[in-house]
Each structure stands twice: as C-alpha cells, then as structure tokens.
Structure 1
Amino acid sequence: MTNILILTAGTRVKLVEYFKMLPNVKVVCTDASLNAPALYFGDAHYQMPCFTDPTYLERVLEVCEAENIDAVLPIIDTTSFILSQHKQRFTEKGIKVITSPAETVALTFDKRQLAKFCRDNQLPTIPTFDSLAEFEQARVAGLIDFPVFVKPAIGSGSIDNYKVHNMSELKNILANKKDMIIQAFIKGTEYGVDVYCDLETGELVDFFVKEKLLMRSGETDKARSANPQPVLPILQDLVRRANFHGPVDVEFFYDQGQWLISEINTRFGGGYPFAQACGKNYPQLIVNNINGKRNHVQNFAYPQDVILMKYPEIAMVTAVESNQRSLKRHVV
C-alpha cells in the first residue's frame, strides 16, 4: 500500500480521484476549511491550521505519523515553497516530498527571480521590470511601451493583476501596492503546459500542451489540446537548467512567432485534469517514483485539437460527517 498525503486539497476533487483510481493507494487529504470538497473524496481527511500558522509543519508531520504516510503532495505554491524548505525533516522519516528542490521552488516562487533566470539562460520570456525606474529607462530606450501588465512578484490566482494604459495609472498602482512587477502586455495566445519530471533523475518524462480558451479565477476553464512539438526544445532546455522534479506547470504565450515563458509553478496546475482526460497519468508516475521505480521517457503523444471543458458537480456531507476524520462520500 502506498499512502499519499495531499495538502490544501481545496476543490481538486479530480486529482484526488486520479490517485484513488490507482491500485493499492491510500489518499489522505487536508485543508484549513472543512468546506473544501476534495477533503471528502480521499480515504481520510484532517482539518489543518493555515499554512501561515507556526504549528503548520508540526501538524503535517503528526498526520504523516498517524497515517503512515509515504509521500506528501503540496498542490498550491505556498505549501510547495514551505515543504521544499523543510524537506529534510520529512526525508529523515522516510517520507518523500513531491516537489522540486528548494532552490528551484524559490526560483519560480518569485517572478523577479524567474525573469532573471530566463534572461541569464537565454530562455525566451516576457520582458519584465522590477521597478518603475527600470521600466522608465527601458521605455525611453524604446524597448517597451504601454499598455503593460502589472502583478505581484509573489502571488497566484490572478489576484492584483492589472492591465495598465498610462504612466499616471502605473504610478498610482505602484504607490499603493508593494512588490509588484511590470511586464510587457502580450496579445498572443496563452498556453499551459503540464510537465512531469522524474523525482529521482529530474529527467523530462512527459508533458501536455493546451491552448487556453477561457480562464476563471486564474485557472483554465476551457482549453484545446495542442501540438507538443513546438515547445519541446524550450522545455528540454528549461528542465536541464532549472532542475525540476515532479509535477510542474509552465505557462507560455505564443506571440509573433515566438514562445515566451510567462510563469512556472512547481506543482500540479489547476488545468491538469485536461491532460489526464487526454491519456496522461502523472499520479501513476508519482506512485512509481515513491516505490523506487524510475520513470522512462514517454512518447509525448496524445489526441490533438480536442476541446476540453470543466463543469461543476456537487459534493454533499452532513455536519456530523464533516467532523469525522474519515468518511464515505456522497455526490449528486
């Protein structure tokens, strides 16, 4: 039996179900809220303090001991960052943390560092500026002009993201918001790439490319499966230089004949179910790694030009059930 702990499960019901579909896998879910639906689709669940709580790591380790956990899967940026910084505490107990090394997670967690990394390694990326002075200098040099896109250097879910049309508007935002970056506004098509790198070797094992057709709350709501070949050489170069391990979500824009890296998250992306629907199975690759099996490079094939759409379902639990550690699920 392979026991997996999924942290901050939230609404990731499909991801929990994918692990549950595998033979001899037990899934334990946690969240700070008992109203997180994915909690009730695992074999057991625990309410946890928020990841900002100083006892958070201790609580995670307590659950690991109580449930004899083999591996912990963080699925939001903050918990991925926290666990990567304390991976040794889990390793000492024989527990794998399913995320990239700490320095890699830190690199992608801060968009300023990611932009610098891409520039230093000649990886195509969106022009990014850390300060108003740096932006103004580039504008005077004719390297960029309005409109621009302003967003937090550390953040997710499209929170505090702004399209800015003039200098007055830009100065006002920067005066009221801290740690923001300024990026060129790209009009091209947005793509999401679900990547899996072997946990043991860091080798690029598989990936799936989707064209984003509709976004909702920072996640892809509708998409089209796309040709993997154009981004393959960029991904191979990126993986070789960045030392990724496990699931990685890479965001691209395709603009004027060029693929530009936009963001990278060292976790499952919210649109991963589209990849699984097209035949990918990263949960199986993870379980292989947990059990000491190296994954071989896949053929990267999947159906192309398939329209993929999310739709809501309803999870129902009673008040009594929501306070139990483990329970049956009820879905209508």
Structure 2
Amino acid sequence: MRYLVLNRTPLTGRRFPDWLGAAHEVILLTDAAAVSSDPDVRSAQLAGYAHVEIMEDFHFNPLVEARAVALHQKWDFDRVLALSEFDILRAARLRELFAVPGQDVASATAFRDKLEMKRLLERAQVPLAPYASVANLADLLGFIDQEGYPVVVKPRWGGGSIDVHVLHDQQDTEELLATHRSLGTDDGAQLLAEKYIEHELIHIDGIVVAGETLLMWPSTHGDTTCLDFKEGGALQSSLLDPADPLLVPVRDLTRQALAALPTPDTCMFHAEVFLDANGRLVFNEIASRMGGGMIEHVLRQSFGVTLPEVYVRAHSSDELPQIPATPVRIAGWSLFPPRAGTVTEIPTECPVPGTTQYRRHVEPGTVLSRAQTSVDKIGSVLAVGDTRTEVETALGEALVWFQSSTVIQPEAQGSE
C-alpha cells in the first residue's frame, strides 16, 4: 500500500516508515520546521521514505493540499495519515478527493468545529455548560445578558488554548472587541461563548482501533488550568489512580460523547471534562488526535505504548502491542511557562526524587515573552510513582525547585 503522511511536528521519534512496515511505500509531505538543520539528524529523520517533500509554509496553506493532489496523481495513495490537530480536516478533504478510507470531512468537522460538536453532544444529552455561537457583538451581549459574567470566548476551530478569553466584566468585553475586529464584519466571527464554570479539569486520552476502545484513561490537572499560562502559572497533570471514584463516571461520560459524534473506526482522542464545585461532571470538548503537553510521554511511562505508533500501525494491519487494562505505574508532568524577560540562569538537571525526565527548553541569554498557548514552556518535568499523591508531590517539589533555580531578568521599565 502507499501512504501519504502529512506532518508538522518534529520527525525525531516519528518513524512512520518503521511503524507502517517495509512492505509499504510511505510518501512524506512535511513542514520544514519539523526537519532538523543538523545534516546527520536530518538524514536519519528522512530515511526510509519512498519520497519526501518539504514545505516552508505549511500552516493553513492551500498549496500543501495542491502538492498532495499532485503527488497522488503520481503515487495513487491508498491512505492519508495526519497526527496534528491542524491537519485533521486537511487530511479528511484529501481522503474524499482521493476516495480512500479514513476519517471523512463530516467526522473531522464534528471534532474540529466546537459549535458543531456541542450541538451533537447536546442532542445526545451529554451534560454541557450553556453555550452560543458568536458572530457579532449582538450575539455576545445577548449571551452575557442571558448567562451573566464570567463568560469564556474561544475560536470554534482553535487548539492549545490559543485566543481563549475569560470575560469578567465590561472592560474585558471591550478588550476582546479591540482584538477581534471580525465581530464587526458582515461575515462575522467564528467564535463560541460558554458560561464559565469553576472547575477541576480532567482530560481523558485514548485510542479506538476497528471500533474497539483499546485505551481510555483520565488524568487531572489538579488545581492548575490550561489558562494559567496567561498569568505565568505552571500547568501540570497526573493520571488518576485505578481506585479513584471518578474513574468510572468520567470514562462513561467520554464513551457517551464518542457515541454521540461520528467517531472514526480508528482514531486517537483527547477529551476534557469539568468537575464543578458541586461535584458534577460537565463535558467540555473532544479532539480526534493525540493530546498535547507531555501526555504522550505519560502514557508511554504508564502503559508502555506510544499512542501515535499504535494509531499508525493500526492502518497497516500490523500486529499491535498489548495495552494493559490499568497503568503499571502512575505518571504525571508539569510545564513551566515563560515570562517576559531575559533568561540569566536555568538549571540543566533536576534533583527532585520521583522525577524521571527534566528538560530545559531555552538557554541562558534567551529573551522571552509571555506564553501564548497552554503548552508553551521553558522547562518541563515528568514524574512517576505508585499513586497520584506521590506524583503530585514530586511535581510540586519540582516546581518549587525550578522557580528557585531559574532567574529571568525582567525588561527595564520603558524599554522598547
């Protein structure tokens, strides 16, 4: 079989030819930013492909799809694979053009367009926060008048908590208007408003292969949220213990959501559920792709599998690795976001017991601005333990250590 792979993430660790097997031809269409500038690393990354094309401008560029069409005329693809959130719909459009199996446009839209997703979930009586489409100021003011502040406003097609705003008052609303001029156009904005819920955020990650759920396990962000990065706060997550009373109801709610949507027979998924102040579970959203942050690393530590590899192998009918029913150990991660200034000191090794991996993502001398997405980071740490409590203790100690060991010199007042 011939596979077209659309890729925009670093290719190290993404061995598509190995995952699909030597009996298949793999053609790679990749973002240039995903390929190393080091000749030796680059050579290793691109080995094994029948053909490679590298494009400088990959994000939302219709020329990427045009090149895919041209390649299909030569190679006659049997499958199209894509792992990134922002290639889900692109890949679906190409599958329909090429008349090959896989997630179609209707399914991809349901998982990408948060408004369409909410409508389908609502019809299936999945518990949701009140929501509304926002195309213009009248839509927004009408929703605020109905629900009151605070209100969350976010792109219908977004990801990574990019451009997500929590409006607490009229001043916040006016600031949103200043940055979203599309609210005043005839075409209107592609935004979604939701009633803000005080919550603990639980995310659920897993994979469905040939209609069978092989893995579904929840994690909690504890007292951190995906919006803490706006204030420079760390984002952390830890798997739930197998005996956690939330495990069964959270998984049941996720199954209900997957059943309500046109879920592909084979797909990874990343869902989010709110646990509100009254202990009620409220479904937020779900994506048909691998979760971000260090979720992939945590699942590897806890279940012994690399989820994207399982997903890709499932498309070539290779024998899949066995996934244990419960984690062999609990794992968690923490991301340390940037704040504006110049890095003067940042540690190279983490001495905190229980941590198994630490990385610094910037060097001394780097000039930083504040985080723009929930996964922007200057440092990250992975921790393992027998229980969630052990993991969260290690993550907490690692955060204190990192903050005390890292020095960021603020910009001088009045500087350009």
TM range (shorter): 0.7 to 0.9
TM-score normalised by structure 2 residue count = 0.60
CA shift digits 1:190-212 (9 cap, x unpaired)? 222222122x4x33332232223
1:189 corresponds, among 200, 209, 213, to 200
**Following TM superposition, by how much is the alpha carbon of 1:19 offset from its aligned partner in structure 2, in angstroms?**
7.9
- 2:137 matched to 1:130? no
1:286 equivalent to 2:311? Answer: yes
- Partner Cα separation in structure 2 for residue 68 and residue 224 of structure 1: 43
- Listed one character per residue, the Cα deviations across residues 270-300 of structure 1 (whole Å, up to 9, x for unaligned) are 2333222211443453345323479899664
Paired residue secondary structure (1:306)? strand
- How many matched pairs? 302
Name the residue aligned to 2:327. Answer: 302
CA drift of 1:267 comes to 1.7
State the identity %: 16
- Residue 203 (structure 1) aligned with residue 212 (structure 2): yes
Q: State the 1:81 CA deviation.
A: 0.6
- Write the distance in 1 (CA, Å) between the matches of 2:310 and 2:162: 32
> How far apart are 1:136 and its partner, in Å?
4.8
User: Aligned pair in 2 of structure 1 residues 303, 164: CA closer, same or farther (>3 Å)?
Assistant: farther
1:255 to 1:19, Cα distance in 2 relative to 1, 3 A = farther
Describe the SS at the equivalent of 2:62. coil
The amino acid across from 1:33 in the alignment is A
Partners of 2:6 and 2:91 within 8 A in 1? no
Instruction: Tell me which residue corresponds to 1:273.
Output: 297
Deviations 1:114-164 (A, max 9, x none): 2222222111223222235556555555xx332222211222222222221
| Residues 134 and 287 of structure 1: CA distance in aligned 2, closer, same or farther (over 3 Å) | closer
- What does residue 115 of structure 1 align with? 118
Q: Does 1:212 align with 2:243?
A: no
Shift of 1:34: 4.1
Q: 1:163 to 1:284 in 2, by over 3 A?
A: closer
- Alpha-carbon deviation of 1:63? 5.4
Once the two structures are overlaid, the 10-residue window that deviates more, 51-60 or 238-247, is 51-60
Q: Deviations over 1:17-55 (max 9, x none)?
A: 598578758876543334655994353553125254333
Alignment partner of 1:160: what SS?
coil
Rounded to whole Å, the distance in 2 between the matches of 1:123 and 1:147 is 22
Question: What does the per-residue CA deviation read over 1:163-216, in whole Å, with 9 as the maximum and x for residues that have no partner?
Answer: 211134314424641322222223211222222122x4x333322322236659
Cα 1:222/1:64, change in 2 over 3 Å: farther
Amino acid at match of 1:76: S
Counterpart of 1:249, as a letter, is H
Out of 95, 98, 111, the position equivalent to 1:87 is 95
TM-score normalised according to structure 1 size: 0.73
Give the Cα–Cα distance (whole angstroms) in 1 for the partners of residues 17 and 308 of structure 2.
Answer: 6
Amino acid at match of 1:272: E
RMSD between superposed Cα atoms in Å: 3.9
Of 249, 265, 273, 1:230 maps to 249
Specify whether residues 166 and 194 from structure 1 end up closer, same or farther in structure 2 by C-alpha distance, changes over 3 A only: same
- 1:237-279 per-residue CA deviation (whole Å, 9 max, x = no partner) reads 2222213121122122221312222222222222333222211
Q: What is the letter of the counterpart of residue 176 of structure 2?
A: I
Among candidates 214, 228, 253, match of residue 274 of structure 2: 253
TM-fit CA distance, 1:110: 1.6
Alpha-carbon distance, 1:64 to partner: 6.5
